[in-house]
């Protein structure tokens, strides 16, 4: 379909949507980790930071410090903002993309 003019806009939409969803995913989680050494080369992301904070706080026998709680609140706010972006993409852009795709009545399943 890449040479079909009637799906050109849909392909552009798909590319933009993929980029937006990937940006949200990569803000939340380091997708480039493949080995134990990769965290040295690629920085950890929001969910990893929050998980590491939880790990550090639960090591001791005393409650979290004010700084621990402040970092947790900051990370949680950033995570919730990214999840809000994801929800908005799913509710608005993915639904619009699916509708545009279905409106074109494309034969997208090919069998031999």
**In this predicted model, what pLDDT tens digit does every residue of 18-61 receive, in sequence order?**
999 999 999 999 988 888 877 778 888 999 999 999 999 999 89
Q: pTM, whole model, 2 decimals?
A: 0.83
Structural domain spans, the chain: 5-103
First to last CA, the chain: 17
pLDDT band at 111 (very low <50, low <70, confident <90, very high): low
pLDDT of 112 above 70 = no
């Amino acid at each position: 379909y890449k040479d079909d003019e009637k799906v050109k806009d849909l392909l552009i939409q798909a590319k933009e949507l993929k980029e937006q969803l990937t940006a949200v995913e990569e803000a939340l989680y380091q997708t480039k980790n493949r080995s134990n050494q990769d965290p040295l080369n690629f920085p950890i992301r929001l969910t990893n930071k929050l998980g590491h904070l939880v790990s550090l706080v639960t090591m001791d026998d005393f409650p979290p410090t004010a700084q621990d709680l402040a970092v947790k609140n900051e990370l949680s706010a950033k995570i919730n903002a990214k999840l809000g972006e994801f929800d908005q993409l799913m509710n608005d852009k993915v639904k619009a993309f699916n509708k545009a795709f279905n409106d074109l009545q494309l034969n997208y399943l090919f069998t031999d």
